[in-house]
Structure 1
Amino acid sequence: MSERQEATRERLLAATLEVLGSRGVAQTTSREIATAAGANLQAITYHFGSKDELVGQALVHAVRTWIEPARTALTGIAGDPLSGLLGTVSALQQALEQAHEHFPTYIEALATASRNETVRAPIVALLAELRGALAASIRELRDAGLIAAWVEPEPMASLIVAAGDGFVLHSTLDPDGYAAAPTLGQVVQLLLAAAVPPGDA
């Protein structure tokens, strides 16, 4: 792919997120995306095959950009799982604060994904990747004795990711009622509190 083609592709992705943010998934049209990107309609078909595929890739690209700092922190501190967890929380806090304006688009994407396989498949894959990295980190914490042996990494990772989606939803409705730092701090405290086996607290 030439630099010019790559630039057009990137403009289409950025324009899609811009239009989605103001129009929503259901109301976004190919013509609006092309106009915002300074491209023609054929460019969407050439680079992505269809508008739905472009929307799906744009959403996944954006979400991956938002969570990449946290995913990197999860996998980047070998042999020190507690520091990795704290680094992840810090990175995720920054990502959430920077991405707040895009939360409505993410929420709508999740709703759309249940009815649109083109959007659903890449988002499911991305969330599975995040859960896998988080589960691996939780397993390291458990194996190091920092949290209790009864904690199951995969279900706990699923719970944390689902709670994150809930945070996104509620902070979109009430931005002043949900702050990233104290909320994520409570997640860490709950995990570390799990070092006390049930019945011994």
Structure 2
Amino acid sequence: MDPLSPGNPVGCSPVGRPSVEIIFYGSLASVGHREDLLEGAKRCLIEKGYARTSARDIVAASGTNLASIGYHYGSKEALLSVALIEATREWGDEVAAALSSSAVDKAAPLEQFQNFWDEVITRFSAHRALWAVTFEVFTQIDRVDDLRARLSDAMEEARQGLGGFWAGAPDEETSRALGSLLQALLTGVITQWLVDPQRAPTGRDLTLALRSIVRIVAEDPTTRPAEVD
């Protein structure tokens, strides 16, 4: 069943790994509860979304208890924020690993660009629910404590990672600017694929656009390097 369907059943799929409990300094301590909660929260985000996921859903999915959420993360909202950021980081790692294994770094710059977007779109299609819930979370930044700060830090991390896409950036400022541009494109492309996948741009489309921009700028006699400073 599609996790985004209104008919999705109540509750989330269990993570399938039981927690081990021990007595530590007179209190009940849970070994592995933190990791189980994180995995359970990620699963609930994908299957139910941010707003529809309850603390009890996460507990049921993770095989833990309500007290563990407060002990390890402070609140359900904080746990879901961490889970979302971790899930998107894992998605980014998948894209990077796929590009690395395809030796994309040896390709010409425009070929690298198209390979990057082809991989992003392929990975998006396999994780559509993750990106749907990401946009849902954006609507909560003024309602949930610390959410804006967590997302801001995650975005800056993404800028830095994306800035290294082309290894030829001459300095840190340029690398960050490249990362910001790619992040802006990424947000826009994913939005289009969420809303209208039949007409959303492909890697070839984006590369054609970039090639055209480069040609137009190069052929413009009024363009000088000083104008971009």
* Structures share fold, TM-score greater than 0.5: yes
State whether structure 2 residue 214 is matched by structure 1 residue 189.
no
Q: 1:161 aligns with which of 167, 171, 183?
A: 183
Say which structure is richer in helix: 1
CA distance in 2, matches of 1:92, 1:199: 28
Task: Name the structure, 1 or 2, with higher relative contact order (CA <8 Å, separation 6+).
Answer: 1
Rate the CA distance shift 1:200–1:6 in 2: closer, same or farther, 3 A. farther
- Equivalent residues of 2:81, 2:147 under 8 A apart: yes
Deviation (angstroms), 1:123: 2.2
Deviation (angstroms), 1:59: 0.4
CA distance in 2, matches of 1:172, 1:195: 28
**1:2-32 superposed Cα distances (whole Å, 9 cap, x missing partner):** x955643333223223333444323322122
State whether structure 2 residue 198 is matched by structure 1 residue 176.
yes
State whether structure 2 residue 157 is matched by structure 1 residue 129.
yes
**1:38-93 superposed Cα distances (whole Å, 9 cap, x missing partner):** 2111111222222121011100011111112334548x977867365455334323
Give the AA of the match of 2:82. Q
Give the AA of the match of 1:189. L
CA distance in 2, matches of 1:15, 1:65: 15
State whether structure 2 residue 122 is matched by structure 1 residue 103.
no
Q: 2:52 aligns with which of 14, 22, 27?
A: 27
Residues 1-201 of structure 1 aligned to structure 2 (within 5 Å): 4=20, 7-71=32-96, 73=99, 82=109, 85-138=113-166, 140=168, 154-178=176-200, 182-196=201-215, 198=217, 200=219
- Equivalent residues of 2:115, 2:203 under 8 A apart: no
Rate the CA distance shift 1:107–1:6 in 2: closer, same or farther, 3 A. farther
CA distance in 2, matches of 1:137, 1:123: 21
**1:111-164 superposed Cα distances (whole Å, 9 cap, x missing partner):** 223443432223222222222232343572x76xxxxxxxx6544543432232
Say which structure is richer in strand: 2
Runs (5+) with no aligned partner, structure 2: 1-18, 21-29, 221-229
CA distance in 1, matches of 2:55, 2:207: 43
CA distance in 1, matches of 2:179, 2:205: 15
Q: Please, what TM-score do these two structures have when normalized by structure 1?
A: 0.71
CA distance in 2, matches of 1:34, 1:21: 15
**1:146-201 superposed Cα distances (whole Å, 9 cap, x missing partner):** xxxxxx654454343223223333332334343xxx52333333334444352617
SS state at 1:70 partner:
helix
Runs (5+) with no aligned partner, structure 1: 144-151
Q: Please, what TM-score do these two structures have when normalized by structure 2?
A: 0.64
Q: CA RMSD in A?
A: 3.3
CA distance in 2, matches of 1:8, 1:162: 36
Q: Aligned residues: percent identity?
A: 23
CA distance in 1, matches of 2:192, 2:162: 22
Q: Rg bigger for which structure? A: 2
